[in-house]
Amino acid sequence: MSTILLAGGAGYIGSHTAVELLNAGYDVIVVDNYANSCPESIKRVESITGKSVKLYEADVSDNAAMEKIFAENKIDAVIHFAGLKAVGESVAMPVAYYRNNIDTTLTLLETMSKFDVKNIIFSSSATVYGEANKVPYLETMPRGACTNPYGWTKSMMEQIFEDAAKADEKLSVVLLRYFNPIGAHESGRIGEDPSGIPNNLMPYVTQTAVGKRECLTIFGNDYPTKDGTCTRDYIHVVDLAKGHVKAIDYILANDKVCEIFNLGTGTPYSVTEIVETFERVNNIKVNHIYGARRPGDLAECYANADKALKVLGWKTEKTLEDMCRDSWNWQKNNPEGYGKK
């Protein structure tokens, strides 16, 4: 069976993807520097699947470390999750974001070329659509003017991958544009474990529910949406992980591809709907208040995911209720996440 290298594979999406790849019969190698993850997640991946994962602690931008990993293993494809990902932090530390995120990409491509590995899937983001495109977002739309350095790194890396694929007739690239992943594995053994104050909505909701945070602030209730709060395309992380398996199946079955796929449900939910659904499904109150709008937040963001269904045979299966139930199951069983990182 084929061996898949997950760069940055110990994180939230990487760990869930590792489970689905192992369940689908693939061998998995993970390389991670644990900047925003920890090795405990991979131990739990192994306990969930009953299969082993080869784990390397290294920085994906470290040429020597990556060459050692490629020399020691026959790698059939790479999934590139490695990168800094906090929007607010990227505004405060743009140089660190450009250095880290683009360096990891260049090092991976250089190492792949040296070892003749010709398949890569990149973890991109809906943020590349920018502010000018109209929802729902289609893959054929141009990359837009991003609202923060994190988004610009994703946009630039997409361009790098497309240029590399144009220049190398054997290099296959799939760019997966994520929308808003939430939820956790139904076992409650792995889930989202942000360092410090969460940047994303659901961990803030769950940490408030578990008593770790006093109150959730919903930024803005005067948007031109159904209830005045921002709407987003929330997708269960397990559905997202299964999208990566479909992308691996696709890239390995074809000689040469360079494709973009949206991975989303196509259904926008408002922030208020998320909170209310979470409270109803889990029978728990979440203290929340409404605050001022946050700079750079779009009123609406959701996908047209028809292409992923047509080409990859992928569509989401889990409901908003599942997302809220699984998020709480993870948090209540792991109030401190994986423990101290």
Which residues make Cβ contacts (< 8 Å) with residue 5, sequence separation at least 6? 29, 30, 31, 69, 73, 75, 77, 78, 79
CB of 128 closer than 8 Å to CB of 155: yes
- Check residue 255 and give left, alpha or beta (phi > 0: left; psi -120 to 50: alpha): alpha
Residue 144 C-alpha from the chain's centroid: 20
- Residue 179, CA distances (Å) to 134, 263, 264, 300, 305 in order: 15, 6, 5, 12, 10
SS3 332: helix
Q: Examine the residue annotation and report whether 150 is marked as an active-site residue of this protein.
A: yes
d(CA 143, CA 201): 25
Burial 63-72 (b: 16+ CB within 10 A, else e): eebbeebbee
302 φ/ψ angles, rounded to the nearest 5 degrees: -155, 165
CB of 196 closer than 8 Å to CB of 189: no
Number of Cβ within 10 Å of residue 5's Cβ equals 28
CB of 54 closer than 8 Å to CB of 263: no
Given 150, 250, 302, 338, which residue is catalytic?
Answer: 150
d(CA 165, CA 262): 19
Active-site residue list: 150
